[in-house]
Amino acid sequence: MKRITILFLVLLTSFSFAQDKNRTAAITAEEIKSHVYYLASDEMKGRFTGSPEEKKAGDYIKSQFETAGLKPAFNGKWFQEFPFIEKIELTKNNSLALEINGKKKSLIVSQDFITAPFSGKAEFSGNLIFAGYGISASNLKYDDYDDLDVTGKVVIVMRSHPEHDSSRSEFERFASLRNKAANAKAKGAAGLILVNRWAPKNDEDPLMELRYDGAAGMKDFPVIHIKRSFVDELFNNEELNFAELQKQIDAEKKTISFIFKNTKVSLQTETKVIEKIARNVGGMLEGSDPILKNEFIVIGAHYDHLGIDQLLAASMYKGKDKVIHNGADDNASGTTGLLEIAEKFGSKINQLKRSIIFVAFSGEELGILGSTYFTNNSPVDIKNIVAMLNMDMIGRLNEENNLTIIGAGTSSKWKSLLNEKNIYGFKLAMSDAGSGGSDHQAFSNKNIPVLFFFTGTHSDYHKPTDDVDKINITGQEKVTNFVFDIANAVNQLDTKPDYVKVEEPASRGSVGRTRVTIGTVPEFGYNGTGYKLSGVTEGGPAAKAGLKAGDIIVKFGIKSIDSIYDFMYASQDYKAGDKVDVVVLRDGKEITFNLELTAR
């Protein structure tokens, strides 16, 4: 993008556009271009959740809603604020020292070691023990802790697993860092130190990123990642070679574990979460039918993106320079569609039967945080929301006119309606399920029929090259008109769309892979202790046992659950047909349920 040229066009078009209240109510390519050029300009710096630029974009959306004749959606307010965790930082209370044969060496934080972002607050001095990859996999007949007493000791383990050169290894589901930490804690260890293995070769030996992974840290359990050179010293003192020992473990698939002699470790860990406030932007048009106006259609799109370097883990850009991720397609395009549809409905307010809520969500890139907050704190009774239409990445319609519709099976009315209104020559690819990694999922989790419109992924996805010059403006005009036609048809229905529960092959929001399904849906954005449910799958083990939305699982079998990661770790050793006691917190009280697990 040529910054000076684009900024000039943005300033010129957006200013004149905002001032022209006599513009046409029709959905036009000219207006789409104006909105997209403004929202995806360098001036917006990637619209990261909670940033000043997100606020600026939100103010712009609010002004467009206002001009279109909408009323504030949130009890007289345009904005629905919600808290979120932006990042994890280390406090001053992080230290690591190794004592070998009486000689103490203090390591430098962020240079020689880093505290894991999910580490708990802890302090320890004592013995060190090596436990291979730190994996216990009974079904693979492999256990790095076999005949090893780690009680009250800090364990050093390698990252990854012994089949690291295979992309389809069964070890993969045991190899996450959270999993290794949970396993060490369950074995009685006082803490965990992670180290990069020697093979495959990586001379840089990078320390892990200090980034929030969406769940609470491990209570009172320290986790540290140390540079490999210091572990080499520990091995040399034992007259062992770290690299050769790894080769032996990988080749034989047999663990080699031992206590480090004449070695002590002293460590202290503490992290802190940095919390910020983000905003959903919402406007409403009230229907004119005396009865149907009490039913609501939600039309939504997320307006946040990756910012500059605030969400590197989600970026596909691998360069070292700080660059703006403008997110023209993802999702200035969907936000633009939302504004255009709101404007067109605003000109037809007297023709509306049902009421319509238009919402620009924030926090989608962090895990559908804004839409989840909306569905848990709806400005109207959630039971009166009859449908949700979501637009995410609708700006890259290809020459074949391929348009993906997710959620087409969540109502028996959807497919016939989609085909009937397809006067634009789209080649519709319909997927029945209501999941799909965007804001509609928060509504599907509440048993609301959804439709998610998407022109497809591309090579610029989550890269700085997702820019306005690649938006198919005329194609987006067609898609936006199509979404309007669908929304208008739903608005005019005599009876609300029925909801159809679509069975899916895997639990939504799952982490890792397990052999059984439990039928739970996670509460995105929850950072408390335990695994909080936003719903359960109809007919699944959790639903049959009596679990429901709002429950917090704190124990699964014999294992305590501090986060969703603990839950996945606890469930992976079970098989179909097993019965397990699950303890949940409900209204502050512990209740035990017995689940019979089924195959995935």
| Domain residue ranges in the chain | 3-85+275-492, 92-269, 516-599
Burial 156-166 (b: 16+ CB within 10 A, else e): bbbbbbbbbee
Q: Among residues 411, 391, 389, 299, which one has the least CA distance to residue 345? A: 299
Q: Among residues 229, 253, 32, 280, which one has the least CA distance to residue 133? A: 253
Q: Among residues 525, 517, 503, which one has the least CA distance to residue 567? A: 517
**pLDDT score of 527:** 84
Q: What is the pTM of this model?
A: 0.84
Gap between the Cα atoms of 261 and 342, Å rounded: 70
Gap between the Cα atoms of 161 and 243, Å rounded: 14
- Triad 299, 302, 306: Cα angle to 5°: 170
- Please identify which residue in the block is written with the tokens 């364990």: 155
**pLDDT score of 3:** 35
Gap between the Cα atoms of 377 and 352, Å rounded: 25
**pLDDT score of 504:** 66
Give me the chain's average pLDDT, please. Answer: 91
**pLDDT score of 521:** 85
Which parts of the chain sit beneath pLDDT 50?
A: 1-22, 506-513
User: For the CA atoms of the chain, what is the radius of gyration?
Assistant: 26
Of the options 3.40.50.1110, 1.10.3720.10, 3.40.630.10, 3.40.309.10, the CATH number for the domain spanning 3-85+275-492: 3.40.630.10
Question: According to the CATH classification, is domain 92-269 in 3.30.1490.190?
Answer: no
Gap between the Cα atoms of 275 and 85, Å rounded: 4
What backbone torsions phi and psi does residue 297 show, to the nearest 5 degrees?
Answer: -105, 130
How many residues are there in the chain?
600
Amino acid identity for residue 401 in this structure = N
**pLDDT score of 214:** 84
Please state at what angle helix 29-39 crosses helix 334-346, rounded to 10 degrees.
130
pLDDT tens-digit map of 330-381: 999 999 999 999 999 999 999 999 999 999 999 999 999 999 999 999 999 9
Residues 183/186/188/189 CA torsion (nearest 10 deg): 30
- 8 A C-beta contact, residue 111 and residue 300: no
List Cβ neighbours of 226 (8 Å cut-off, separation of 6 or more).
96, 107, 112, 113, 156, 193, 194, 195
**pLDDT score of 568:** 87
Q: What percent of the chain has pLDDT over 90?
A: 78
End-to-end CA distance of the chain: 46
Among left, alpha and beta (phi > 0; psi -120 to 50; other), residue 275 is beta
Whether omega for the bond prior to residue 488 falls within 30 degrees of 0, making it cis, is no
Residue 234 CA, chain-centre distance (Å), reads: 38
- 8 A C-beta contact, residue 418 and residue 430: yes
Which residue blocks in 457-538 are alpha helix, DSSP H? Answer: 473-492
Q: Among residues 130, 138, 270, 112, which one has the least CA distance to residue 192? A: 130
pLDDT tens-digit map of 381-428: 999 999 999 999 999 999 999 999 999 999 999 999 999 999 999 999
Gap between the Cα atoms of 515 and 65, Å rounded: 48
Gap between the Cα atoms of 100 and 263, Å rounded: 5
557 HSE (CA, 13 A, CB side): 16
Gap between the Cα atoms of 156 and 192, Å rounded: 6
| CATH number for the segment(s) 516-599 | 2.30.42.10
**pLDDT score of 437:** 84
